[in-house]
Amino acid sequence: MFEFWRRSGVRAPSTAMRRALEVDGLPAGIDQSSTLSTVELRGKYAGRGVTYFRVFEATRIAESGVSVRAYGDLDAYPTFVLRAGRIEKDGSIVITARSAGLDAPVPQRQTTDRAGHGDDEHIVFRPENG
């Protein structure tokens, strides 16, 4: 009920999280010695209690003038989030989101010729009555 009282502030990644980040790898130009920080939020995943986290580079945030004190402060700035995931009750760390990197190419949408696929109307377009 009073979950907002339990919000954690910005902190350095734990040893276990640093190990998980090392295994997962970080974008080019960012290493473990940089000023990585995390924010966390307690929540539920598949009916069990977990702690959601976001990892970001504190110096980059400071240079941008954005103030980050809690998990939700990064909602409007997804490009600052290097990694995101959850910490299970047993302490295992699951990384679920990775930044694409600032220099990653943006995929282009392509059109397709549906002339040879007239049988997929029910999949592509939702029926009006169903």
Range name among 49-58, 60-69, 85-94, 99-108 with the lowest pLDDT average:
99-108
pLDDT of residue 9: 85
Contacts of 84 (CB under 8 A, 6+ apart): 52, 53, 54, 55, 95, 96, 97
Q: pLDDT grade, residue 104 (50/70/90)?
A: low
Q: pLDDT grade, residue 33 (50/70/90)?
A: low
Structure tokens at 103: 């220099």
Q: pLDDT grade, residue 97 (50/70/90)?
A: confident
- Rounded to the nearest 5 degrees, what angle is found at the Cα of 117, between the Cα atoms of 115 and 119? 130
The pTM of this model reads 0.69
CA distance 38 to 8: 9
Q: pLDDT grade, residue 129 (50/70/90)?
A: low
Is the predicted pLDDT of residue 35 greater than 70, yes or no? yes
CA 20 to chain centroid? 14
pLDDT of residue 45: 94
Is the predicted pLDDT of residue 16 greater than 90, yes or no? yes
Q: pLDDT grade, residue 55 (50/70/90)?
A: very high
